[in-house]
Amino acid sequence: MCGIAGKINFAGPVDVALLHRMCAAMTHRGPDSRGVWVDDGVGFGMQRLAIIDVAGGEQPIFNEDGTIALVMNGEIYNFPELRAELRKRGHRFSSGVDTEVIVHLYEDCGKDLVHHLRGMFAFALWDGRQRKLFCARDRVGKKPLLWARNGSRVWFASEIRALLEDDEIDRGIDLAAIDAFLAYQYVPHPLSAFYEIRKLPPASTLMVTEHDETIEKYWALDYSRKLDKSPRAELEEQLRAHIREATRIRLMSEVPLGAFLSGGIDSSAVVAAMAEQLSEPVKTFSISFSDAAFDEARYARMIAQKYDTDHHEFRVEPEALTIMPKLARHYGEPFADPSAIPSFYLAELTSQHVTVALNGDGGDESFAGYARYFGNDPVSRLAWLPRPLRRGAPLLAELLPEGRAEKSMSARIRRLSARLAKERDARWVNCMSVFDDAERSRLLSADFRAEIGSNDADEVILTPWHESTASSRIDLLLDVDIKTYLPGALLVKMDIATMAHSVEARSPFLDQELMQFAASLPGDLKLHGDNGKHILKSAMRGVLPDEILDRNKMGFGVPLVTWFRNELRDLPQEVLLDPRTIGRGYFKRAEIERVINEHQRSQADHSFRLWALLALEMWHREVVEAPTMRAQVLG
């Protein structure tokens, strides 16, 4: 695990001092050592967090004759098998580190090497003979890779802050990316908040030569082959076996490891699998809140007691928002998933005890764990109504008296009517949006709207929706989330939070074999009525306590809705109505005031919207306006 960075100059030299600055900007990702290599217009750098072959796994890694150089961020879990096979084919290894198998696979397979890898990774490989750069990112996007090109110069890095060490990279802000951020709380790939910087999408390779570059997708889940003839008990046993195996291969480490434990089904299943396979107590780490509606600590303690873990807990209070500037600097672009706050503190707590932590990420997206998967059903059950009547529903709802409270019957009918008027794909876009298109139209200034022109943030969801080959409704929703929300929000959150504290996060539920098995299950085994994770719950019955399996999902959030009405009531107004914020020209002041006032009067829950606006402004102040930045903003 590490941070990687590099620059290629097809027309001249690369400054070794730049590589050191890029690495220094990511010291937190790999504090154990630094490797820098520069040769004939190419420079690679990396900061290493030593996990495997601690003594001998320095990077860059080279092939036998030094014509191929590689830096990688991540772990290849099947490297022992690959290493043995490559040795049989005559390859010689100089270390025991997993990274080295990639250079030899490239010699044998070229760009197709990615099909042989099982793990989480982002790597960059320089082919000195053909003078080309080959990069790749893992299947679901666990590990990030950002890149930029300007003429003969090409850059790549694990984090934006490393790229911004080079003054030759344009700092212009991509307003289309900001528009998408306001819609979804994150900047979706391939965009970044900076116009010249782009993200390599998950399951993609990038080949760069002096004259062009090519991005190719190499993997996607197959939802077409269903295990609909297999007995239920057999499928449950296969699922347990997949979880055990996915966990087993992620226990490979020469340094202490533990687990994040929320008390939900996914993290509890991982801890159970760890406890079964480790000879000493699992070290577990949890977050608690004083607000009982958000606090899962008692469930985490229940699992910790059942499996006799070495358990540690941290309480998050409202003053936790003081880390907002630090979050902005680490993410490098606007990011507004509120669970970044507890995740950041959880990683900090964990770093005091272990270097590797397993988690339950990915279970919801494979087994239908989110309420939104069945929350749309009331609308779907009314889809038989004639289209003119459905489209006229919002006008009829306007005749109702305006409800003052966000949970009033009038307010609920208005929301239901608005969704009913939309087609199924547009309803999902609306479900996933913080500020939907209509709300952004009200919020954004005329200058901002003119700048982004015909850009349509809805396409972030609509494109994978219409490209999906899933045939059932639930598989379609899971497929879209795995291609958008999972890599864009959840995995970014976890990567930044853990690497900020030099912790490696591993996710058994994101194992490609386990995910493909889940994709092959019939939809009604994942979502049965309003029971999400149906087969996962039944498979774990008897392994996990019934209280864990039968409780309502809480999510890993923070009580922003009450904080912004009580302890932090003044914060949105102080920051968002500050002349410095308004002066950027992004928003209409009256709309910002409306959002603040409606939330504080409990007329609506705008907590996520307020958090997104605060995150955007904090990014401007901490990143865009930092001394080394020269970003373009609206006047």
Would you please indicate which residues are annotated as catalytic (active-site) residues? 2
Tokens found for residue 319: 């003053």
* Nearest-angstrom CA–CA distance, 314 and 346: 7
Q: CA dist 217 to 205, 222, 462, 476, Å?
A: 6, 14, 18, 19
Distance of CA 623 to the CA centre of its chain: 20
Q: How far apart are CA 37 and CA 71, in angstroms?
A: 10
Question: Nearest CA to 165 among 21, 61, 279, 286?
Answer: 21
Please give the Cα distance from 398 to 299 (Å, whole number).
Answer: 43
Identify the CA nearest to 613 among candidates 573, 576, 583: 576
What are the tokens at 283? 């070290």
Start-to-end CA span in the chain (Å): 41
For residue 454, the one-letter residue type is S
- Compute CA distances 128 → 4, 22, 86, 335, whole Å: 19, 22, 21, 37
Residue type at position 180 = A
Whole-number Å distance between alpha carbons of 214 and 192: 19
**Cβ atoms within 10 A of the Cβ of 470, count?**
19
Q: What single letter denotes the amino acid at residue 344?
A: F
What type of residue sits at position 112? Answer: D
Distances (CA, A) of 365 to 279, 463, 487, 515, 608: 31, 18, 11, 9, 21
Question: DSSP letter string over 490-507?
Answer: IHHHHHHHHHTTT-EEE-
Structure tokens that stand for 232 in this block: 């239920």
CA distances 150 to 100, 154, 212, 343, 396, Å, are 30, 7, 11, 35, 54
Instruction: Please state, in angstroms and rounded to a whole number, the distance separating the CA atoms of residues 43 and 129.
Output: 16
Give the span between the Cα atoms of 605 and 387, in whole angstroms.
Answer: 30
What is the Cα–Cα distance from 618 to 559, expressed in whole angstroms? 20
- Residue 340 structure tokens: 């970044």
Rounded to the nearest 10 degrees, what angle do helices 265-277 and 297-306 cross at?
20
Identify residue 44 by its one-letter amino acid code: F
Question: Rounded to an integer, what distance in angstroms lies between the CA atom of residue 399 and that of residue 139?
Answer: 49
The DSSP string of 257-283 is EEEE--SSHHHHHHHHHHHHH-SSPPE
Distance CA 378, CA 484 (A): 24
CA distance 271 to 545: 13
Spatial separation of the C-alpha atoms in residues 101 and 505, rounded to whole Å: 22
Which candidate, 554, 95, 635, 137, places its Cα nearest to that of 339? 554
Strand order in the sheet with 310-316: 310-316, 283-289, 257-260, 356-358, 504-506
For β-strands 257-260 and 283-289, DSSP reports them as parallel
